[in-house]
Structure 1
Amino acid sequence: MERIRVLVVDDSAFMRKYISDMINKEPDMKVIDSAGDGNTAIEKVKSLKPDVVTLDVEMPGKNGLEVLREIKKISSAEVIMLSGLTTEGSVVTIEALSTGAFDFVEKPSRATIDQMQEMKRNLLDKIRYAWKLKNKKVNMNMSKVVTEEKYVHIEAIGKIEAIALGASTGGPKVLYDVITSLPKDIGIPVFVVQHMPAGFTKAFADRLDKNSFLRVVEAKHEDVIKPGVVYIAPGGYHMIVNPGKIILDTSPAIHGVRPAVDKLFISAAEVYKDKIICCVFTGMGRDGAEGVKAIKAKGGLTMAQDESTSVIYGMPRAAYETGCVDLVLPDHEIPKEIVKLVKQKS
């Protein structure tokens, strides 16, 4: 069996050993080497050609973002960032996702058994998905990709009053592209669930706010819903749409995640009925599928990202397989289709 070849980069000797031991216990992956600083990491990427690199965000000398940029110039390796929850760390991590990192895993704030197990589970899953993406890119480069045409012309039945978006792995980049493409006069609220730990969603919202025509905020409990504002669900809280305001709650995770796309979509369907557009983007799992069914049942418009542009075609596939998705589009087509539908009956 071909094993996934991983390079571990971390300035902490303890973390290098812990991560290496964890990976080497898996039958389908192995650590080919490790590095304690950025310059060494770059040299080892050149010589060893790993499939996947785990890369610490905060290191002395070159930080993780600078190393990532260098790796992307010289290698096809997928990079998973490891980030501690600090203000600087979360900002750099969000920037890294936009620069081409596959995803990130939060480093435990305390070395408790539960937190270390959570990191282990997340990291191993993401290494496997990163390797699949690397192979997918190779196959796409070797052959002409033919995508099944799933475009169906649809029209808004009435005035659209809200947009709801959901994503997971690969989502930050596509959501950035979509949200920064929305015009200042969109005139309706936009609700977003991006699977992300607490602390990182604020940095994500801030980066979007700086680069968008619309105001982008991390949602707060009982925020009054305003047109032209993008509300990002905070990590650790479900975001529920009530008439006129947002409710955050810590009810149990759905599909192992909180916030969950399903919670947002189902609540928004009750409030906006047939006057909402939703879209499910790239991500593992099936979060959003039940929400799509709820929105479709109320007469709303439903969309999903296509397989060819999804980093992981899990959530969009699950949504599509419900039979309730009106439109399947590549990521770059989605913002203009949303704007067209909103403007159509405004």
Structure 2
Amino acid sequence: MKSYIRGKHILAVDDEEDILETIEDILDEARIDRARDYETASEKIKKTRYDLVILDIMGVNGLQLLEEATERNIPAVMLTAHAVNPETLMESIRKGAISYLPKETLADLDEFLESLLGAHERGEPSWKLLFEKLGDYFNERFGEDWKEKDKAFWSDFSRTYQVGKGIQQRLAKDERLRSMGV
């Protein structure tokens, strides 16, 4: 079976050293660069072409780093413990993240990333995959009717899975698509 992680160059950003060590251990087939603060991560995103960035939200200004990664056409996965809430999830979608994972799922990071990167490479909606895998988790965490508050957003999201300017910007910069006249 093809590995979508093997050989990838990934930037992991988190202010907690133990989380970075865990990511490195779990993603041992990839080449991992690390950053523990916004400034270091921002500099690395500007200077290096990564296949993926994994961004904590709190403590490292992860949503700003998400914008910077999206501008450089680098897929980003948000990984958070303290910012697991519907508002941050929606903001991650709007700003172009390909996924949003609670740190509670860290032990399964390699499996999630294999599925997500595979879907992303095939042009399939990575968000649909996330909600198929973690929909029950979000319902338990946020309450069964958590999408009702922002019904228009979620209705549009469910209908199209083409969400936010971030994804559109990233697609516009994708050489494979531009060469096809898209």
What is the TM-score with the length of structure 1 in the denominator? 0.37
Q: Which has the higher contact order (CA 8 A, sep 6+)?
A: 2
CA shift, 1:107, in A, is 1.4
Equivalences for 1:2-151 in 2 at 5 Å? Answer: 3-24=7-28, 29-60=29-60, 63-75=61-73, 77-84=74-81, 86=82, 88-90=83-85, 91-108=87-104, 118-121=105-108, 123-136=109-122
Kindly provide the amino acid, as one letter, of the partner of residue 101 in structure 1.
Answer: A
C-alpha distance in structure 1 between counterparts of 2:126 and 2:145, whole Å: 17
C-alpha distance in structure 2 between counterparts of 1:204 and 1:70, whole Å: 29
Q: 1:171·1:194 contact (CA, 8 Å) conserved in 2?
A: no
Pair 203,133 (structure 1): closer, same or farther in 2 beyond 3 Å: same
- Paired residues, what number? 151
Pair 47,134 (structure 1): closer, same or farther in 2 beyond 3 Å: farther
Equivalences for 1:159-174 in 2 at 5 Å? Answer: 169-171=126-128
Q: 1:12·1:36 contact (CA, 8 Å) conserved in 2?
A: yes
| TM-superposition CA deviations, 1:109-161 (whole Å, max 9, x none) | xxxxxxxxx5221x112222333345345xxxxxxxxxxxxxxxxxxxxxxxx
| TM-superposition CA deviations, 1:195-244 (whole Å, max 9, x none) | 543324679526624x56xxx9xxxxxxxxxxxxx9xxxxxxxxxxxxxx
Pair 106,89 (structure 1): closer, same or farther in 2 beyond 3 Å: closer
Q: 2:77·2:97 contact (CA, 8 Å) conserved in 1?
A: yes
Indicate the percent of aligned positions where both proteins have the same amino acid. Answer: 22
- Structure with more strand by fraction: 1
Q: 1:83·1:93 contact (CA, 8 Å) conserved in 2?
A: no
Pair 34,83 (structure 1): closer, same or farther in 2 beyond 3 Å: same
Q: 1:102·1:170 contact (CA, 8 Å) conserved in 2?
A: yes
| TM-superposition CA deviations, 1:12-39 (whole Å, max 9, x none) | 1111111112211xxxx31331111123
Q: What are the ranges of 5 or more consecutive residues in structure 1 without an aligned counterpart?
A: 109-117, 138-167, 173-192, 217-229, 231-278, 283-346
Partner residue, 2:169 = none
Pair 134,281 (structure 1): closer, same or farther in 2 beyond 3 Å: closer
- Structure with more helix by fraction: 2
